[in-house]
Amino acid sequence: MDIESFREYCLSFPGTTEGIKWEHLCFMVEEKMFIIIAIDEGNSFSIKCTPEEFDELTARDGIKQAPHMAKKQWVYIENLDVLNEKELKERVKTSRELVLAKLPKRVQEKYK
């Protein structure tokens, strides 16, 4: 998946916004990040996963613990080609759902 298709997919979720933090492009819901992507660094990105998926993902080539965020189950993926398109889309959706689940119930209801 190329960066423009990736961006369009991330923005297709209701309430998703984009912004720049730490010189990286971020996709957010209610100002909470669910994707951090380094466009200037070969489109490497960090994404949230479940605790059960964390060890499985970090054992794979091209995926490691996200610096400064691993304890919160974030993984760093070297580029958009590490995952096939179907899995990449599933991972984006899961990351967003995990971040959304931490928000107040009334906020979550806006996106169901």
- What does the pLDDT read at residue 25? 92
Position 71 confidence tier, pLDDT thresholds 50, 70, 90? confident
- Domain edges within the chain: 3-109
Under CATH, which architecture does the 3-109 domain have? Alpha-Beta Complex (3.90)
pLDDT per position as a tens digit, 24-54: 899 999 999 999 998 877 789 999 999 999 9
Q: For position 23, what pLDDT does the model report?
A: 85
Q: What is the DSSP string of 36-78?
A: EEEGGGTTEEEEE--HHHHHHHHTSTTEEEPTTTGGGTEEEES
Instruction: Indicate the pTM of the whole model.
Output: 0.89
In sign, the C-alpha dihedral spanning 79, 70, 90, 33 is negative
> Is 70 exceeded by the pLDDT of residue 70?
no
72-111 residue pLDDT tens? 899 999 998 999 999 999 999 999 999 999 999 999 888 8
Q: 108: helix, coil or strand?
A: helix
The whole-number average pLDDT for the span 54-64 is: 93
